[in-house]
Amino acid sequence: MLDHYTKRAPDAQNTIDLFSGEWSSSFPEPFKQLDAGYAPLFEDPRIEWATSTLGGCEGQRVLELGPLESGHTWLLRRLGASSVTAIESNSRAYLRCLVVKELMQLQGTQTLYGDFLEYLRPCTEHFDLCLASGVLYHMVNPAELIGLIAKVSDRAIIWTHYYDQALLEQEPTNHYRLTEPTTGSYEGFESPLYRQNYGHSLANPAFCGSSNEFSNWMTRADILNCLRHFGLTEIEIGWEEPGHPHGPAFTVAAARPA
């Protein structure tokens, strides 16, 4: 029980150290000196590009799926969003979001703990923008997520890995996790799905995947076709990352025609 107490003077690093070894994000100024993670998610050029491509988010209500550590939440507010509702299902990541919210005095945001699919399925609210960064490739039925995003917003930003056999064969450590395709469908859209097993990564305290032991990946073309199927037909693509160490990835900014 005494391990739950500290005798150190209050400072930011103390709070970060509550989740030592679990952080993915590095922090921006004035917290750059903090020993946390490595990914510059608070200053992510992919999100800045996609937001600008869609006409900005000044004064807009944004829904964020899977905030991880609130880096993009903070960035959306800095880019002018009037409010951000973020939904996180990983309990440890959710608590890290609360640490960030307190540490960086993040205003105009609400971070909810729960499964965003269960939030989206009955949702009748409409958001000006939906951000889904790093979540589509963790879905069992990714087409459902795209369909649900299109239901609640006319504009979406998606960063995701995708299945490409030729590219994955260049990275054997990634290729072996993906199996032969099955067929998935959702509300009239049908495509091959490639099962990705998390395997030993489930034992990593920094694991930030999903509540399932596997997910299904779509091809790049099928992701784009799925967006079109659900009405998000104005599509811009940026930040192509065919050599990403965890599998090919890209950033998509998609909108429904006015």
Entry field: residues in the chain: 258
Residue-level pLDDT at 206: 54
Separation between Cα atoms, residue 21 and residue 18, nearest integer Å: 9
Separation between Cα atoms, residue 27 and residue 29, nearest integer Å: 7
Residue-level pLDDT at 199: 58
Residue-level pLDDT at 96: 98
Where residue 62 sits, what CATH number does that domain have?
3.40.50.150
**Per-position pLDDT tens, the chain of length 258:** 777 888 889 999 999 999 999 999 999 999 999 999 999 999 999 999 999 999 999 999 999 999 999 999 999 999 999 999 999 999 999 999 999 999 999 999 999 999 999 999 999 999 999 999 999 999 999 999 999 999 999 999 999 999 998 877 777 666 546 678 999 999 999 999 999 876 566 555 555 656 677 899 999 999 999 999 999 999 999 989 988 888 899 999 999 998
- Joined together, the tokens standing for residue 248 give 């090919």
Separation between Cα atoms, residue 116 and residue 140, nearest integer Å: 13
3-class state of residue 32 by DSSP? coil
Residue 237: closest CA among 162, 165, 186, 167: 162
Total number of domains constituting the chain:
1
* Sheet of 83-88, strand order: 109-113, 83-88, 61-65, 129-133, 155-161, 249-255, 234-241
Residue that the structure tokens 């507010």 belong to: 77
Q: Kindly provide the residue ranges of all beta strands, DSSP E only, lying in 4-154, ordered along the sequence.
A: 61-65, 83-88, 109-113, 129-133
Per the structure, the complete domain to which residue 225 belongs is given by 2-255
The whole model's pTM is what? Answer: 0.93
